Structure 1
Amino acid sequence: MSGGELGDFLRARRAGRSPEDAGVRYSGRRNVAGLRREEVAVLAGVNVDYYTRLEQGRELRPSPQVLDALCRALDLDADAREHLYRLARTAPETAPAPARAVVSPELRQLMDGYPHTPAFVLSRTLDVLATNALADALFSPFRVADNLARMTFLDPAGREFYERWDWTAQATVRNLRIAAGTDDPGLSALVAELIEGSEEFRVLWETHQVRGKTREPKHLVHPEVGPLTLTYQAFDVRDAPGQQLIIYHAEPGSPSSDSLALLSSLHVTAGRTTRSPR
């Protein structure tokens, strides 16, 4: 990853940190959003010129001690801290292996063993690598269920499918940002496509906010069965770094559980459970 990514991240997070929140005293008018470089340097206990070189991409390998200090100065949460370490190539696993695009037959068989709940495999860049029958039925409103970011921002169905579209858009971008430190070969092309096709994506991408997957419920609206409230679990695939198995779940006996059952029966009846290989 280029030094530009590290500098862009630091500048964006500096701009988003107010002097009041950082406990910085000042007087008079301020001409910059957020903190000044000098203020971040003082908070982190580093030389101003050194910090300036970090933002300008002229210093590419800060020590773990410096990174820890910057995390405190910029009030980075766990996901943002991990992202900063990846950008600086200082994390314990500085160069993760590229995510495999092939899902093993054993994992596909396991997914098909969940006929009553949607299951699918994602790459680091949110490519949908494999699905079971009910996941295909769930994603059927989309033209192509190939990438969650593309589905959210570029497919018109996304705004109807995701009841909380604004929240989903932010979460999707923050999750995709994590891939920026992994040298995934498909990320640059995907980001360029999304920036060209969606102004909302461009604005969110430039905030450099980072967040891993949460456990917050998914609020979806399917045109065939109506509203769905689903929780989910995400599992790292041990023998395929970068792949995650996602399993959606509806509370037993809930309206959403009944709706998933109806969706499954509709697609079985229509003969739409046959999936093209991915």
Structure 2
Amino acid sequence: MNKKTGLGEFLRMRRSQLQPADVGLPDFGERRRVPGLRRDELAQLAGVGLSYYTRLEQGLSLNASPEVLDALARALGLDEVERAHLHDLARASRRTGTRRRPAPERAGDTTQQLLAAFGDAPAVVVGRRSDVLAWNRTGHALFAGHLDPHIPDQPDQRPNTARLVFLDAHTRDLYVDWPKKARDVVGKLRLAAGQYPDDPRLAALIGELTMKSPEFAGMWSEHRVRKWDLATYHMHHPLVGHMQLNLQTLNVPQVEGQRIVVATAEAGTGSAAALSLLAQAGVPSAKVGSHTPWSTSIRA
């Protein structure tokens, strides 16, 4: 992740995704050399000079004020999450020297207690890089029953939800609308990259996924950011079949970057019955070397 060019790349990509009609500018039908708005059109909409805006895109000016950034966000039609990401990128570009690397992550005792309080509801503790830091029994059975249930306790071998979604066949099959889940994952990683630009393991993860997954590389290049607190997914589990589940995200109190993802289903539905069955069934054990769907292992 290049902190000096991140802001310019984001501005350039989002500018290319807008047409004049999207922002109320007349379109005289002229053929454009590049897709989207021209630099001068966006600069005019934001009320900044063309030369100044050009330097921002080129990474030559690193001192954009909050007011200028807000004006650019309005001109680009960014939502609140995207606007905050724009400010994160600007702050990262202004930093000099090397910041202290983020501390290793772990699920603390109180977080483990909160996890246990969800009972049979599937719940997973996820860190700033989307590493799985802990899960309860049903969370493991729902999301990764083919993995060792104790693997989150091993920091160097923890599953990573982004890696699972893009590189693990079981997880791909789990989500009926896989592209929707994949874009949500990429959008969350984009936010994390803006918030933690000095995290080498996050940079390594993004590099790995870019090299190994053309689908990830394509989605990553779009510079879309997402911060979902509630999402509904259609899932097909190898043990209990089809379910429509709501995944809700709760921030872990007083721990930056950690969150708990909890899966629920509407009461009285087949999905709720399937979750209850999953909680009762436990996780089948797979022999090493087995070729069942539960034996595939992806490690962080």
* Residues 182-221 of structure 1 mapped to structure 2, 5 A cutoff: 182-183=195-196, 184-221=199-236
- Structure 2 counterpart of 1:180: 193
Aligned residues: 269
Aligned partner of 1:247: which letter? V
Task: Pick from 247, 255, 258 the counterpart of residue 240 of structure 1.
Answer: 255
Change (3 A) 1:57 1:268: closer
- Structure 1 counterpart of 2:115: 111
Deviations 1:217-252, CA, capped at 9 Å, x for gaps: 122110010011111322211221110111111222
Change (3 A) 1:268 1:220: closer
Say whether the 8 Å CA contact 2:265–2:271 is kept in structure 1.
yes
Give 1:98 shift: 3.6
Aligned partner of 2:180: which letter? W
Aligned partner of 2:221: which letter? E
- Structure 1 counterpart of 2:290: none
Change (3 A) 1:140 1:234: closer
Change (3 A) 1:191 1:142: farther
Give me the CA root mean square deviation. 2.4
Higher mean C-alpha displacement, 19-28 vs 192-201: 19-28
Aligned partner of 2:110: which letter? E
Higher mean C-alpha displacement, 244-253 vs 260-269: 260-269
Tell me the TM-score normalised to structure 1 length: 0.89
Say whether the 8 Å CA contact 2:143–2:171 is kept in structure 1.
no
SS at match of 2:78: coil
Say whether the 8 Å CA contact 1:99–1:243 is kept in structure 2.
no
CA distance in 2, matches of 1:231, 1:99: 31
CA distance in 2, matches of 1:258, 1:151: 26
- Structure 1 counterpart of 2:18: 17
> What are structure 2's unaligned runs of at least 5 residues?
93-98, 149-157, 287-293, 295-299
Give 1:212 shift: 0.4
CA distance in 2, matches of 1:26, 1:96: 49
CA distance in 2, matches of 1:139, 1:229: 14
CA distance in 2, matches of 1:142, 1:65: 50
Say whether the 8 Å CA contact 1:142–1:158 is kept in structure 2.
no
Task: Pick from 169, 179, 200 the counterpart of residue 156 of structure 1.
Answer: 169
SS at match of 2:121: coil
- Structure 1 counterpart of 2:96: none
The answer as to 2:279 corresponding to 1:264 is yes
Say whether the 8 Å CA contact 2:248–2:263 is kept in structure 1.
yes
Higher mean C-alpha displacement, 112-121 vs 263-272: 263-272
> What are structure 1's unaligned runs of at least 5 residues?
273-277
The answer as to 2:146 corresponding to 1:146 is no
Tell me the TM-score normalised to structure 2 length: 0.83
CA distance in 1, matches of 2:237, 2:86: 37
